[in-house]
């Protein structure tokens, strides 16, 4: 590959991330959660916590299928066109939401409507996972290890910048249009326009990928059945996978509870919910290149450890947030700016620790295992939130009286901090 073609390939990957970020900002998990709230407004008996948990978890469970990506790429014959096809198909699946939602709400049981919403959201993410796995494998062969941190920081920053624009536009639209709809108009109809806009941006994100050359993998690509499990021969890679699973468990337990807490306890509008995420994205966009350069210069350990300690305290902000102090979610949003250091560190490690000749398998194994862990514990958290909706954990000797939401926020804080043990373990087995 010439220097000029390499430069154009990097530009294409970054531009794809920017457009994809805008699309994700318009049609985000937060938008789907508020859509569910308004669909279920007249049905108080619906276990909303569990439904939200399924919206978050179902794509991760289906993500187990991304283990098949290396073999699918082999059968397809081209990583580039496999990536282009999957990135093009995934937003088309989302068209089912605006096209089918209106007729179904008027003619189908509520359970069918919510079930279809979960299925569409799940299939969209599954196809996206396929494309992302293939794209990351190409990035691993495109960017040398000594420059990956900086490049991934720039790419992450551009994606976050795009998400920020989408969040801000969608939040302002929700505040000035959806929240102002007359009672004669169903509020859920207001979410259709940002859904269409998000789909358009996701389709536009495919165009830069057409400029990518066919990037040959390092070494000879393994096609034997044992090739998929090749990364697990490395003890260090196995520990890294365990770290990913543990970290996602710590976030999954409080994920659906956090969304429900914003909507039903703090009762903030979609604008302020997306505003908090916008604050996080703007901060992450600003520091992502700096974090990437820091990883290139100092290694993953100090950057990831410092970032993980800071973001852990975000859960405590939700622990102390009440309707009168709802603004604490913005303090959490500021602390979560530093999560970008963890993300870039993970992206760098997964490319570094995967076998050079079989990066797609390493990427598939790590992200499948970690997202499956996130899914299982998100579902558990959603189930427990509905199961103990009116319950209180009391420890009179300590003066404690917490509901399930506060228990989950505190547990998330403790578990995230304890994930540092795995990072220390990875460092300890360096070279083994």
Give pLDDT tens digits for 104-122. Answer: 887 888 888 888 999 999 9
Domain map (residue ranges) of the chain: 3-213+227-428
Confidence of residue 397 (pLDDT cuts 50, 70, 90): very low
Comparing CA positions, the residue from 28, 6, 5 lying closest to residue 273 is 28
**Band of residue 222 on the pLDDT scale cut at 50, 70, 90:** very low
The tens digit of pLDDT for each residue in 361-378 reads 888 888 888 888 988 898
Residue 392 in contact with residue 401, Cβ under 8 Å? yes
Q: What's the Cα-to-Cα distance from 180 to each of 29, 117, 147, 269, 371, rounded to whole Å?
A: 22, 25, 49, 12, 37
At residue 244, does pLDDT exceed 80? yes
Across 222-243, average pLDDT: 73
Question: Phi, psi at residue 431, to the nearest 5°?
Answer: 90, -10
Comparison of pLDDT for 91 and 153, the residue scoring more = 91
What pLDDT does 400 receive? 57
Q: What pLDDT, in 10s, does the model give residues 19-53? A: 999 999 999 888 998 888 888 877 777 777 788 88
pLDDT of residue 410 exceeding 50, the answer is yes
Please check whether residue 153 is in contact with residue 290, taking contact to mean a CB–CB distance below 8 angstroms: yes
Q: Which of 188-202, 227-241, 249-263 has the lowest mean pLDDT?
A: 227-241
Encode pLDDT of 44-103 as tens digits.
777 777 888 888 888 878 877 877 887 888 888 888 899 999 999 999 999 999 888 878
Return the half-sphere exposure (C-beta side, CA atoms, 13 A cut-off) of residue 145.
12
pLDDT of 398 over the 50 cut: no
SS3 state of residue 360: helix
Q: Mean pLDDT, to the nearest integer, of 261-284?
A: 85
Give me the mean pLDDT over the 391-413 stretch: 70
Q: pLDDT band for 430, please (50, 70, 90 cuts).
A: low
pLDDT over threshold 70, residue 228? no
**CA pair distance 319, 241, nearest whole angstrom:** 29
Residue 18 pLDDT: 93
pLDDT band at 223 (very low <50, low <70, confident <90, very high): very low
Nearest C-alpha neighbor of 71 from the set 262, 293, 222, 235: 222
Q: Enter the pTM of the model.
A: 0.72
- For tokens 């796995």, the residue is 133
- The pLDDT value given to residue 193: 92
Please give the structure tokens belonging to residue 362. 């390493």
Was domain 3-213+227-428 assigned CATH 3.40.50.2300?
A: no
Measured in degrees and rounded to the nearest 5, phi and psi for residue 395 equal -130, 85
pLDDT mean over 163-189:
85
In this prediction, residues 142-162 reach a mean pLDDT of: 81
Is the pLDDT at 221 greater than 70, yes or no? no
Assigned token pair, 339: 């999560």
């Amino acid at each position: 590959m010439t220097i000029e073609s390499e430069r154009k390939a990097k530009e294409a990957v970054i531009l794809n991330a920017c457009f994809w970020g805008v699309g994700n900002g318009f049609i985000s998990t937060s938008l789907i959660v508020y859509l569910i709230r308004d669909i279920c407004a007249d049905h108080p008996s619906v276990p909303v916590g569990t439904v939200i948990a399924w919206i978050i978890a179902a794509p991760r469970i289906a993500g187990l299928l991304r283990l098949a990506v290396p073999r699918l790429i082999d059968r397809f014959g081209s990583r580039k066109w496999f990536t282009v096809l999957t990135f093009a198909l995934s937003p088309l699946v989302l068209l089912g939401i605006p096209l089918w939602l209106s007729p179904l709400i008027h003619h189908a049981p509520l359970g069918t409507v919510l079930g279809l919403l979960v299925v569409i959201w799940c299939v969209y993410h599954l196809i996206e996972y396929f494309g992302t796995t293939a794209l990351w494998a190409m990035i691993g062969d495109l960017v040398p290890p000594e420059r990956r941190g900086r490049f991934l920081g720039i790419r992450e920053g551009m994606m976050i910048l795009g998400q920020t624009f989408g969040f801000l536009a969608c939040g302002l639209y929700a505040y000035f249009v959806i929240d102002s709809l007359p009672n004669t108009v169903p509020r859920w109809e207001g979410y259709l326009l940002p859904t269409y806009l998000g789909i358009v941006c996701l389709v536009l994100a495919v165009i830069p990928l057409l400029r990518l050359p066919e990037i040959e993998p390092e070494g000879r690509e393994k096609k034997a059945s044992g090739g998929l499990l090749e990364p697990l021969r490395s003890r260090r890679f196995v520990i890294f996978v365990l770290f990913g699973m543990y970290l996602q468990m710590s976030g999954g337990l409080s994920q659906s509870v956090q969304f429900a807490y914003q909507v039903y306890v703090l009762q903030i509008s979609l604008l302020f919910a997306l505003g908090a995420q916008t604050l996080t994205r703007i901060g992450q966009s600003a520091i992502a290149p700096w974090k990437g350069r820091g990883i290139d210069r100092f290694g993953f350990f100090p950057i990831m450890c410092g970032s993980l300690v800071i973001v852990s305290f975000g859960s405590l902000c939700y622990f102390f947030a009440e309707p009168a102090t709802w603004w604490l979610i913005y303090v959490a949003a500021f602390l979560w700016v530093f999560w970008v250091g963890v993300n870039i560190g993970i992206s760098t490690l997964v490319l570094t620790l995967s076998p050079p000749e079989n990066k797609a398998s390493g990427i598939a194994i790590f992200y499948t295992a970690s997202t499956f862990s996130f899914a299982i514990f998100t579902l558990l958290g959603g189930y427990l939130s509905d199961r103990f909706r009116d319950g209180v954990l009391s420890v009179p000797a300590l003066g404690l009286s917490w509901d399930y939401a506060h228990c989950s926020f505190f547990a998330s804080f403790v578990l995230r901090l304890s994930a540092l043990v795995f990072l220390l373990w990875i460092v300890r087995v360096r070279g083994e």
